Amino acid sequence: MDIDLTAAYDRCRELHRRHGRTYYLATRLLPAWKRRHVHALYGFTRYADEIVDRTEDLPPAERAARLDDWAGRFLAGLHGEPVDDPLLPAVLHTIAVFDLDRDDFASFLKSMAMDLTVTSYRTYDALLDYMEGSAAVIGTMMLPILGSSDPAAAREPARQLGFAFQLTNFIRDVGEDLDRGRTYLPDEDLAAFGVTRDDLLAARDRGAGTEAIRELIRYEVRRAQAHYVAAADGITLLDPASQACMRTAYALYGGILDEVAGQDHDVFVRRATVPQRRRMSVAARSLLTPTGTPVVVPGPDLAGPLAEADAVPAPRPVGG
């Protein structure tokens, strides 16, 4: 690789190391030649997210113009034009090496643009449409890099894992998203539990949720766990060299939900994180687990019967 391309991969790796601690740890279990490509995808998605979320002081039109400009440079690079950017050469190289689906990247950029204007989602189906671009396509982008014995069968679990990871982030980061003027908990769910946006803002300000908010979060945790269940079989369909990485990511993101449950589903008392000692233990255990071993599905809450009012709809499949 030339110096500029090496520097672009290094930039992506640094963004990943700094901002994606859980996934970065898991990625260290991949073969070295695969890591840089995962870093490139993370760098691409993180930089777009930074344009959207770290420029709140700018007028909406200027924020949109910055995203459009960066997306335009990316699309020009896809068509073979020279790209003057510190990280885009890495993702363009990764796309070329694995012949990644360009439509996935267009879908991702569309969802990032939605974050500039959409502040809430009325229904879960509406949120799923957003997450199709912001989460599910990340799974399908990753799949060719991770490799699979049956890519067609692994595709839907990869999408479901994208949903599961993003819902986990939404649950953990309710307060941070409110700071940005957004809620990713569907309006219909808030209404079902008698919670308003003002209630969430008040809970954020005092650092403690109400009983109704905790029940709402418990419901969303169950919904996320359902996506983890739908994703579980996909781990053993990956190339043997990739299974320890994704087994670790699966367990650690699911562990965030365990931490949420452990604080009585009150996401306002503190930011739920998996302790470092447990993180390292999970990584070591994943590395020692024989390939092909089914993953341990998170969510003891799903083991028992659900009340009718607390029932969680099954995850939506491709084309659903």
Q: What is the pLDDT of residue 310?
A: 43
Q: Check pLDDT > 90 for residue 36.
A: yes
Q: Check pLDDT > 70 for residue 312.
A: no
Name which residue leads in pLDDT, 18 or 60. 18
Q: Do residue 318 and residue 198 come from a single domain? A: yes
Q: Do residue 282 and residue 173 come from a single domain? A: yes
Q: Do residue 44 and residue 178 come from a single domain? A: no
What would the pLDDT profile of 155-164 be if each residue is shown by its tens digit? 999 999 999 9
Q: Do residue 197 and residue 230 come from a single domain? A: yes
Q: What is the pLDDT of residue 315?
A: 53
Q: Check pLDDT > 90 for residue 236.
A: yes
What would the pLDDT profile of 255-272 be if each residue is shown by its tens digit? 999 999 999 999 999 999
Q: What is the pLDDT of residue 2?
A: 59
Q: What's the whole-number mean pLDDT along residues 62-89?
A: 90
Q: Do residue 108 and residue 2 come from a single domain? A: yes
Q: Do residue 158 and residue 294 come from a single domain? A: yes
Domain boundary residue, one of 117, 134, 154: 117
Q: Check pLDDT > 60 for residue 230.
A: yes
Percent of the chain with pLDDT over 90: 72
Q: Do residue 286 and residue 306 come from a single domain? A: yes
Q: What's the whole-number mean pLDDT along residues 140-163?
A: 96
Q: Do residue 150 and residue 4 come from a single domain? A: no
Q: Do residue 221 and residue 72 come from a single domain? A: no
Q: Do residue 66 and residue 209 come from a single domain? A: no
Least confident of 3-7, 39-43, 204-208: 3-7
Q: What is the pLDDT of residue 195?
A: 97
Give the confidence band of 299 by pLDDT, cuts at 50, 70, 90: low
- 243 lies in which domain range? 120-320
Q: What is the pLDDT of residue 22?
A: 83
Give the confidence band of 52 by pLDDT, cuts at 50, 70, 90: confident
Q: Tell me what the pLDDT averaged over the chain comes to.
A: 89
Give the confidence band of 49 by pLDDT, cuts at 50, 70, 90: confident
Q: What is the pLDDT of residue 141?
A: 96
Q: What is the pLDDT of residue 319?
A: 42
Give the confidence band of 247 by pLDDT, cuts at 50, 70, 90: very high
Least confident of 94-108, 267-281, 299-313: 299-313
What would the pLDDT profile of 172-184 be if each residue is shown by its tens digit? 999 999 998 999 9
Q: Do residue 130 and residue 42 come from a single domain? A: no
Q: Do residue 38 and residue 152 come from a single domain? A: no
Q: What is the pLDDT of residue 307?
A: 35
Annotate the chain with three-state secondary structure: CCHHHHHHHHHHHHHHHHHCHHHHHHHCCCCHHHHHHHHHHHHHHHHHHHHHHCCCCCCHHHHHHHHHHHHHHHHHHHCCCCCCCCCHHHHHHHHHHHCCCHHHHHHHHHHHHHCCCCCCCCCHHHHHHHHHHHHHHHHHHHHHHHCECCHHHHHHHHHHHHHHHHHHHHHHCHHHHHHCCCCCCCHHHHHHCCCCHHHHHHHHHHCCCCHHHHHHHHHHHHHHHHHHHHHHHHHCCECHHHHHHHHHHHHHHHHHHHHHHHCCCCCCCCCCCCCHHHHHHHHHHHHHCCCCCCCCCCCHHHCCCCCHHHCCCCCCCCCC
| Domain count for the chain | 2
CATH code for the domain of 36: 1.10.600.10
